[in-house]
Amino acid sequence: MAIILGIESSCDETSASICIDGEIRSNIIASQAIHAKYGGVVPELASRAHQQNIIPTVDQAIIQAKISKKDIDAVSFTRGPGLLGSLLVGTSFAKSFALAMDIPLIEVNHMQAHILAHFIDNPKPSFPFLCLTVSGGHTQIVLVKDYFEMELLGETLDDAAGEAFDKTAKILNLPYPGGPLIDKHAKNGDPTAFKLPEPQIPELNFSFSGLKTAILYLVQAEIKKNPNFLEERMHDLCASVQDRIVSILLNKLKKAAKQTGVKDIAIAGGVSANSGLRSSLLAMGEKYKWNVFIPKFEYCTDNAAMIAIAGYHKFLKQDFVGQDISPLARMHV
Ligand code: KG4
Ligand code: ZN
């Protein structure tokens, strides 16, 4: 039997999870509301909130899993990528815990963990599969050959998909994080109401900065004509923006599937919670006879369950690190 404690602290969620023999028994997430009033994550405030939250969060994860601290066989933590000050809190906690309990320490790459969240529940994808990982900081198409053998096929050249949602939301006067709000407004809007450009980017790469500028110009021009434009057309605007972001993502995913011949197709990361992306991917999967894998909502945005499951698969390989490990703000899949 293997009991793993997973720790996630790369951005603005402090999270702890217990995984017993590959099964998630708890996944506690302490979100940081403090950033909303600043319109984005403030790194220093995030580090302080992690420092406050980490021990109560871990305690709760242990209680909910109905185990005691001394039952834990190893601790896995997010080494990167992310905000360095935030990562330092989780890393230092994990190192201290491993040292105190005399158990192995396991480092986890946050972007790999988003993908490995697909191994929490059934059905699980089979190798090799393609994963579109879309979060606040990344937009990647990854060919997943094995648990820890991943090839980056394409990525964004500027903004991430989550940033495209959040920055657009800011233009529309919606609070941070805007992605979920755009999703909500889009449900009552017409996706064909506004024509937005699809960037012509080579290969399997993405670009979202042009889209953001196009939306800004459109909104500025319309507000000049009608000061109530945003209030009156919010639903249609959100639906059109979401539709374009989703089509940019899925057109590249379709290209990747064609190029590789892979039929198991997954999405991961915070933006995979988007209802438009989820439903369009399902429809595309039907059309092209793909096996589509979409994570449960709780495993889309940042969580420690994905760090614990990744840790479990490294534990099986006895892939441990020493106490001299330090976090990395940048890490590749
Ligand atoms: O993976 P994640 O929780 O954190 C990072 O590692 O970045 O992703 C957060 C991103 C934010 O940009 C947020 O706006 C976006 O995911 N997001 C969404 C939705 N839920 C979260 N974007 C669009 N629609 C959603 N429903
Ligand atoms: Zn993430």
d(CA 203, CA 288): 20
123: confidence class by pLDDT, cuts 50, 70, 90: very high
Domains and CATH numbers, the chain: 3-115+301-316 (3.30.420.40), 125-295 (3.30.420.40)
Instruction: For residue 295, report the distance from its CA to the centre of ligand 1, in Å.
Output: 13
Binding site for Fe cation, by residue number, is 110, 114, 302
Q: Per-residue pLDDT for 231 more than 90?
A: yes
Q: Is the CB of 162 within 6 Å of ligand 1?
A: yes
Q: Which amino acid is at 131?
A: C
d(CA 88, CA 82): 10
Instruction: For residue 289, report the distance from its CA to the centre of ligand 1, in Å.
Output: 28
Q: Per-residue pLDDT for 230 more than 90?
A: yes
Please report the pLDDT score of residue 40 as a whole number.
86
Instruction: For residue 225, report the distance from its CA to the centre of ligand 2, in Å.
Output: 40
Assigned token pair, 13 = 């969620």
The neighbour count for residue 311, using CB atoms within 10 Å, is 32
Q: Which amino acid is at 239?
A: A
d(CA 230, CA 236): 10
Tell me the average pLDDT across 50-58: 98
User: What digits encode the pLDDT tens for the residues 238-270?
Assistant: 999 999 999 999 999 999 999 999 999 999 999
Please report the pLDDT score of residue 34 as a whole number.
87
User: What digits encode the pLDDT tens for the residues 264-299?
Assistant: 999 999 999 999 999 999 999 999 999 999 999 999
Please report the pLDDT score of residue 141 as a whole number.
98
Side-chain half-sphere of 333: how many Cα atoms within 13 Å?
A: 26
Percent of all residues in the chain with a pLDDT value above 70, rounded to a whole number: 100
Q: Per-residue pLDDT for 36 more than 90?
A: no
Relative to beta strand 129-134, strand 264-268 is parallel
Q: Which ligand is in closest contact with the Cα of 274?
A: 1
Q: Is the CB of 180 within 6 Å of ligand 1?
A: yes
Please report the pLDDT score of residue 166 as a whole number.
96
Q: Which of 24-38, 209-223, 286-300 has the lowest mean pLDDT?
A: 24-38
Q: Is the CB of 271 within 6 Å of ligand 1?
A: yes
Please report the pLDDT score of residue 38 as a whole number.
85
187: confidence class by pLDDT, cuts 50, 70, 90: very high
The pTM of the full predicted model, rounded to 2 decimals, is: 0.96
User: What digits encode the pLDDT tens for the residues 133-184?
Assistant: 999 999 999 999 999 999 999 999 999 999 999 999 999 999 989 999 999 9
Q: Is the CB of 128 within 6 Å of ligand 1?
A: no
Please report the pLDDT score of residue 33 as a whole number.
86
Q: Which ligand is in closest contact with the Cα of 110?
A: 2
Please report the pLDDT score of residue 125 as a whole number.
98
Q: Which amino acid is at 44?
A: E
Pocket test residue of 208, 244, 300, 301 for ligand 1, highest count of atoms within 8 A of CB = 301
